[in-house]
């Protein structure tokens, strides 16, 4: 009973923080003619509700793809249709074809915010609680993991501030991870395919899922590995077929959806993003040197090559712990080196890092702060500076107050603790300084994007460090299915008591 009360309290705190953020501005508020992601989501409700499925991804007289054309997979479209249907029942003006473009009102904002909150509570909250329900951790550690997962500032700011539904795809992928960890590979494959069919950026996690399941099938001794692999393949194909059923009537329809999902014409990256290509643009303008096709090839080759070490290690030595590390490593490689990256895609990495919030509290806290900071230019553009500062400080306070973040000062860990403190505090000094400059400083007229680029470069340097660290963790971990928590700060603290 006490544990249930704790979960309810954690859930209420998480909902309260989300609701407070939702009271602030959103992407493109009052900024026509295109507005922002808020209008994009509303517009998708409009076209999916009013138009037949065959027109959703096509340029027609009633669907102008230049005005927030649908460019997410089918599950996003079906979700938009459901929201559009409910919106039409409340007020048809909210989704009236064409005439509702740019619609803004307090009532409609409340409706849109409720749709995100409902999606979060239905798809993300339950998975987070299930992840740590029977994970071998104490009730205290499970409660801490729950609240840190649910209060991750980046996800709250983007979904409930900027305005998106990342909670659905991230909820699906966490459920897939949990099911695979319990040995239910078929159901895990189903939910990963659902995540991929809600947001194509879940391709960032595709390599670890593929190589882990393949490695398990090769190494299983209690059953026919080939038969298991065939079952997984059929499950994946069947799930894809169900999601894409309305678009498989003819080849052109399916190809048009694929064309919309991978818009290479948009460019190397989206706005100022904390990846390698955007950081290099400070010194070298790759788009002025290479053609678009050459840039695409460069990104594909570099991403595949850098994903290989983690993937092959997982294939040859499949364990659930290596699988989780590989999810971090491959998704971070995709974020840093792939083509057409959004700044918001760092959430795909962060949600897996947050799974280690109890075992690796220092690295989880540091990564979460930097990942949120990397989106500062976008958050300032949306008018979300105050929520950014407050949610980040709240996360730091909860992390520091529930478990020692730095290694305890024993003889064995004293040097490591000093190094952690030194690097962390200097890193935070840079975060604070760049945040203050972004708010108060005026960039030179000839370099109007100087501060966003500095934020990107600073964040990217951290992500490269994190990439090295988590690769080392993956290659050093033992051939076991669970993490050895005997040396975590929380365990040491309990022993001292």
Residue among 338, 276, 352, 270 nearest 37 (CA): 270
Q: What share of the chain is helix, strand, coil (3-state, %, to 5)?
A: 70, 0, 30
Q: Chunked in runs of 10, what are the mean pLDDT values of the chain (497 residues)?
A: 82 96 93 91 96 93 92 96 97 94 94 97 95 71 90 97 96 96 94 96 96 87 78 96 92 90 76 89 83 90 96 94 97 94 94 94 96 96 96 94 72 76 94 96 89 95 97 86 41 42
pLDDT of residue 287: 80
Q: What is the C-alpha radius of gyration for the chain, rounded to an integer number of angstroms?
A: 23
* Other Cβ atoms closer than 10 A to 196: 26
The domain ranges of the chain are 2-29+104-496
Which 3 state secondary structure label does DSSP give 341? strand
**Nearest C-alpha neighbor of 335 from the set 363, 364, 370:** 370
Beta strands in 28-105 (DSSP E): none
* 140's tokens: 């205290």
Q: Return the pLDDT at 494.
A: 43
| Paired tokens of 155 | 């996800």
Give dist(CA 139, CA 293) in Å, integer: 53
Residue whose C-alpha is closest to residue 371's, from 343, 397, 331, 334: 343
Sign of CA dihedral 425, 429, 430, 432: positive
Per-residue model confidence (pLDDT) at position 410: 62
Nearest to 102 by CA among 167, 169, 41, 182: 41
Environment class of 104 (CB within 10 Å of its CB; exposed 0-12, middle 13-18, buried 19+): middle
Phi/psi region, residue 30 (left: phi>0; alpha: psi -120 to 50; beta: rest), is: left
CA nearest to 326, candidates 307, 339, 304, 345:
307
Asked whether the beta carbons of 41 and 168 are under 8 A apart, the reply is no
The residues, any chain, with a CB within 8 Å of residue 355's CB and separated by 6 or more, are 131, 145, 149, 174, 177, 324
Tokens linked to 244: 């894409």
The pLDDT value recorded for residue 219 is: 77
Cα–chain center distance at 118 = 18
pLDDT score of 263: 75
Give the SS3 label for residue 338: coil
CA 464/CA 471 separation, integer angstroms: 11
Cβ(388)–Cβ(367) below 8 Å: no
Evaluate whether 329 touches 474 at the Cβ level (below 8 Å).
yes
For 164, list phi and psi in degrees, rounded to 5: -155, 180
Nearest to 355 by CA among 156, 135, 50: 135
Residues paired with 269 in a beta bridge: 341
Q: Which residue has the tokens 């840190």?
A: 148
pLDDT number for residue 491: 43
Count other C-beta atoms under 10 Å from residue 383's C-beta. Answer: 14
83 preceded by cis ω (within 30°)?
A: no
Looking at residue 486, its pLDDT comes to 37
Helices marked H in 357-442: 361-373, 376-381, 385-402, 414-440
* Dihedral, 264, 266, 271, 275 alpha carbons, nearest 10: 20
pLDDT at residue 484, rounded to an integer: 38
**Contact of 443 with 381, CB cutoff 8 Å:** no
């Amino acid at each position: 009973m006490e544990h249930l009360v704790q979960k309810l309290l954690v859930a209420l705190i998480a909902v309260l923080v989300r609701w407070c953020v939702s009271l602030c501005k959103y992407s493109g508020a009052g900024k026509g003619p295109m507005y922002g992601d808020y209008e994009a989501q509303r517009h998708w409700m409009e076209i999916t509700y009013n138009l037949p499925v065959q027109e959703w991804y096509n340029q027609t007289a009633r669907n102008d793809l230049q005005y927030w054309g649908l460019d997410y997979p089918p599950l996003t479209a079906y979700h938009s249709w459901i929201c559009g249907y409910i919106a039409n029942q409340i007020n048809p003006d909210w989704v009236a074809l064409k005439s509702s473009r740019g619609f803004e009102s307090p009532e409609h904002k409340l409706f849109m915010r409720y749709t995100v909150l409902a999606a979060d509570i239905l798809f993300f909250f339950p998975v987070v609680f299930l992840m740590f329900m029977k994970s071998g951790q104490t009730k205290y550690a499970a409660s801490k993991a729950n609240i840190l997962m649910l209060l991750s500032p980046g996800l709250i700011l983007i979904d409930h501030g900027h305005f998106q539904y990342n909670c659905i795809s991230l909820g699906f992928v966490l459920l897939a991870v949990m099911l695979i960890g319990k040995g239910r590979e078929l159901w895990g494959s189903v939910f990963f395919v659902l995540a991929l069919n809600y947001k194509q950026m879940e391709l960032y996690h595709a390599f670890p899922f593929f190589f882990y399941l393949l490695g398990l099938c090769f190494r299983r001794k209690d059953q026919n590995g080939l038969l298991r692999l065939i079952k997984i393949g059929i499950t994946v194909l069947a799930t894809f077929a169900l999601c894409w059923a309305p678009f498989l009537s003819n080849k052109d329809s399916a190809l048009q959806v694929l064309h919309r999902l991978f818009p290479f014409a948009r460019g190397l990256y989206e706005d100022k993003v904390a990846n390698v290509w955007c950081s290099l643009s400070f010194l070298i303008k790759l788009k002025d040197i290479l053609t678009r096709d050459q840039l695409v090839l460069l990104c594909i080759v570099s991403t595949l090559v850098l994903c290989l070490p983690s993937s092959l290690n997982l294939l040859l030595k499949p364990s659930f712990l290596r699988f989780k590390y590989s999810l971090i490593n491959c998704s971070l490689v995709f974020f840093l080196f792939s083509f057409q990256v959004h700044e918001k895609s760092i959430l795909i990495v962060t949600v897996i890092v947050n799974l280690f919030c109890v075992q690796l509290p220092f690295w989880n806290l540091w990564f979460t702060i930097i990942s949120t900071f990397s989106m500062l230019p976008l958050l300032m553009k949306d008018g979300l500076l105050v929520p950014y500062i407050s949610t980040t400080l709240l996360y730091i306070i909860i992390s520091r107050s529930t478990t020692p973040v730095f290694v305890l000062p024993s003889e064995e860990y004293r040097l490591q603790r000093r190094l952690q403190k030194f690097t962390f505090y200097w890193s935070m000094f840079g975060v604070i300084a760049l945040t203050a400059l972004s708010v108060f400083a005026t960039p030179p007229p000839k370099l109007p994007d100087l501060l966003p680029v500095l934020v990107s470069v600073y964040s990217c340097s951290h992500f490269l460090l994190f990439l090295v660290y988590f690769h080392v963790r993956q290659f050093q971990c033992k051939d076991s299915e669970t993490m050895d928590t005997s040396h975590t700060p929380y365990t040491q603290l309990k022993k001292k008591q």
